[in-house]
Amino acid sequence: MPLPWFRRSEQPNNQWHDFARSRNVDALVALYATDAVFESPLVPAILDCDSGLLRGHSEIRRFLEEGTQRRPNDLVRWYRNGKYFTDGRSLVWEYPRQTPDGEQVDILEVMEIHAGKIHKHRIYWGWFGCKLLIGSAVAKATSPKPQSSG
């Protein structure tokens, strides 16, 4: 007997988490529909662009590849409490700031899933994570620019 839709929508939650932790970019990209939309405030920080919006496998892959190369970060602990919310199409879960081992970047993941693929993925950062992003942006903006030799 096939699982009800709400049970199938839970699978990307666990798969995404496991593939992200293990830095398996190919497996992560395979979870997304070919025309998927990905949104995160980390996109401009990682890819040095103006928008936090990515469309399709190639843009999402570029972000994931670059992001996995920039780890480890002590504040990415991958702790979650196992709770999630779904209505059968949308799936939401949290990486809370407070963990048993201290603080981590606080993130809320929201996915819209259809036919077993992620069609929209939005990542919202909490105050602690935003504080880190702002600090990084300020440091980048105030650092001396390399002089061109020409």
In a domain, 20, yes or no: yes
Each of the 150 residues of the chain gets a pLDDT tens digit; together they read 333 434 555 566 678 888 988 899 999 999 999 999 999 998 988 898 889 999 999 999 999 999 888 755 666 778 888 888 888 889 999 999 999 989 988 999 999 999 889 999 999 999 988 888 888 777 777 878 766 665
User: What range defines the domain where residue 119 resides?
Assistant: 5-138
Find all residues with CB under 8 Å of 10, minimum gap 6, and list them: 84, 86, 91
What is the number of domains present in the chain? 1
- pLDDT value for 37: 98
- pLDDT value for 48: 85
In a domain, 150, yes or no: no
Q: What is the CATH number of the domain that holds 84?
A: 3.10.450.50
- pLDDT value for 3: 33
Q: What is the spatial order of strands in the sheet that 117-125 belongs to?
A: 53-55, 32-39, 117-125, 107-114, 90-95, 84-86
In a domain, 147, yes or no: no
Q: What is 51-92 written as a DSSP string?
A: --EEEHHHHHHHHHHHHHHT---TT------S-EEESSSEEE
| DSSP 8-state secondary structure symbol assigned to residue 114 | E
In a domain, 143, yes or no: no
CA 134, distance to chain mean position in Å, is: 17
What is the value of pTM for the model shown?
Answer: 0.82
- pLDDT value for 71: 57
- pLDDT value for 112: 95
